[in-house]
Amino acid sequence: MDITGTLGDVGNILAAASAIGTTSFGLVDSTKASKGGISNAGFGHLSTAVKGFLPALNVINPADPLQPLKANWLNGIAKAEQKAMAKSLVRLGITAATAADLARAAPGVDAAVFGAAATKINSGSDLSEQEANTLGRFDAILDARMDAGFERADQLYRNASKLLAAVISVTLSIAGVIVIQKGVPAGSDFLLALLIGLLATPLAPIAKDISSALSTTVATLKSVKG
């Protein structure tokens, strides 16, 4: 491995980075076959976000209240749809029996008024203005908790995926130069392999396009000179 200073070298490096990056992301994605793999990253933030609303989720699925949320998370359902589903499940679990616990999870919500509203909702009775306002306050707090939980969960999932992909990329790059040179590479080759591995993850989505553009440029320059 060496760099001679030509555009072709840059194109080859980008092509290698693209191949390694694509492979690393593929290997990261393959971990999902084992109990969700990397997809589990971030779900802890969702669990924390809904912790105070578990009494409502217990009404929907007593055996495993978080199962519907985790199933959607592991399957990669669109984030907006997951938020809407989580909020709907909590709202469905608002009953006279769960009202007191849910009110404690939403600061500023009057437990007595909320309980009365929950009873009327389940009986189909009309709500008073005060009860409607109390439900509105609960919904606003629920929305804020869900939004924060899903955003933090999504951020952790993306960062964990990129970090794991970077580790795999560096490992593949270094292993590749060792195999090619049939032994421990020289210091400069090792650093070049390390650099390609580190660049592979962020460059993978665009490296192919850049490499193609460079190849076209090289071909054009050769035709001009020829």
| pTM for this entry | 0.74
Alpha carbons 69 and 46: distance in angstroms, whole number:
8
Structure tokens at 111: 């437990």
Instruction: List the one residue out of 9, 24, 7, 12 whose CA is nearest residue 202.
Output: 24
Long-range contacts, stretch 213-220, CB < 8 angstroms, 24+ apart:
214/7, 214/8, 214/10, 214/11, 214/14, 215/11, 217/7, 218/6, 218/7, 218/8, 218/11
Alpha carbons 99 and 145: distance in angstroms, whole number:
18
Q: In whole numbers, what is the pLDDT of the chain averaged over residues?
A: 82
CB-hemisphere CA count at 13 Å for 108? Answer: 10
* CB burial of residue 179 (10 Å; 0-12, 13-18, 19+): exposed
Each residue of 129-154: pLDDT tens digit? 999 999 999 999 999 999 999 999 99
Alpha carbons 170 and 20: distance in angstroms, whole number:
9
Tens-of-pLDDT digits for all 226 residues of the chain?
A: 444 444 445 666 666 677 777 778 788 888 888 888 888 999 999 999 999 999 999 999 999 999 999 999 998 888 889 999 999 999 999 999 999 999 999 999 999 999 999 999 988 899 999 999 999 999 999 999 999 999 999 999 988 888 888 888 888 888 888 887 777 777 777 887 787 777 777 654 434 444 444 455 556 656 655 5
CB-hemisphere CA count at 13 Å for 91? Answer: 17
Q: What are the boundaries of each domain within the chain?
A: 7-225
Q: 118 and 95 in contact (C-beta within 8 Å)?
A: yes
Alpha carbons 27 and 41: distance in angstroms, whole number:
16
